[in-house]
Structure 1
Amino acid sequence: MIQFKSELGEISVSSAVFSNITGMAATNCFGVKGMAYRSMTDGLVHLLRREAMSKGVSITYHDDNSISIELHIVVENGVNLPAVCRSIMNEVRYVVTKNTGVQVRAVDVCVDSMIL
């Protein structure tokens, strides 16, 4: 959780906020089918529904009030993976910073599956 303090009070931003913003930004990019989640019970990769997108995102907090984001995605067959991942990195960094004011130190994109 990141906290902003001023003379007027304090604002706390939870991981759920960053996860939801990240999931929405990533799934709006071309070639992304959705967020992915690897099940611990069977080891299979599952495509997440829109209401559960945050399961595919991991947020790491740093001492300087910046964050690092790791997200897992499922892509469409035939897309240029480096181009799609670069697009996601830029979009997530921009949207998270714009909506929360928090500096994003790193965005790591893991492509877990490709849908034919």
Structure 2
Amino acid sequence: MVKVLTDQGEIGISNAVFTTITGAAATNCFGVKGMAYRSMTDGIVHLLRPEAMSKGVKVTYNDDNTVSIELHIIVENGVNIATVCRSIMGEVKYVVSKNTGVEVRDVNVCVDSITM
């Protein structure tokens, strides 16, 4: 949980807020099929349903009150993966900062699969 200090008190922002905002921002980008989750039992990458997008996002809280975000995605066939990832990085950083007021230090995108 990140705590933001204001003149009127303290605001706590939970992990669920960051993962939900991140998942929504990433899946709205062109070329993204959805969030990915690798099963521990069989090792297969699964496309997550919209209500379970947060499983594809990991948030790390840094000592300087910033967050680092790692997300796992599945992209559509035929897109330029590097361009899609750069787009996601910028969009996630902007949307998370705008909605929470917390600075995002890093956004790391892992492409786990490509849909055919």
Q: Does 1:63 align with 2:41?
A: no
Q: What is the CA–CA distance in structure 2 between the aligned matches of 1:22 and 1:111, rounded to whole Å?
A: 15
Q: Does 1:52 align with 2:52?
A: yes
Q: What is the CA–CA distance in structure 1 between the aligned matches of 2:44 and 2:19, rounded to whole Å?
A: 22
Question: Which residue does the alignment assign to 2:30?
Answer: 30
1:7 CA drift (Å): 3.8
Q: What is the CA–CA distance in structure 2 between the aligned matches of 1:6 and 1:76, rounded to whole Å?
A: 42
1:8 CA drift (Å): 1.8
Question: Which structure 2 residues correspond to residues 1-116 of structure 1 after superposition, within 5 A?
Answer: 1-116=1-116
Q: What's the TM-score once normalised by structure 2's chain length?
A: 0.98
* Identity of matched residues, %: 72
Q: Report Cα offsets for 1:77-108 as digits up to 9, x if no partner.
A: 01000000000000000000000011100000
Q: What is the DSSP-based 3-state SS (H/G/I as helix, E as strand, rest coil) of the residue aligned with 1:54?
A: helix
Q: What is the DSSP-based 3-state SS (H/G/I as helix, E as strand, rest coil) of the residue aligned with 2:65?
A: coil
Question: What amino acid does structure 1 have at the position aligned with 2:92?
Answer: V
Q: What is the CA–CA distance in structure 1 between the aligned matches of 2:79 and 2:21, rounded to whole Å?
A: 23
The count of residues paired between Structure 1 and Structure 2 equals: 116
Q: What's the TM-score once normalised by structure 1's chain length?
A: 0.98
- Which runs of 5 or more residues in structure 1 are unaligned? none
- Which runs of 5 or more residues in structure 2 are unaligned? none
Q: What is the DSSP-based 3-state SS (H/G/I as helix, E as strand, rest coil) of the residue aligned with 2:22?
A: helix
1:10 CA drift (Å): 1.4
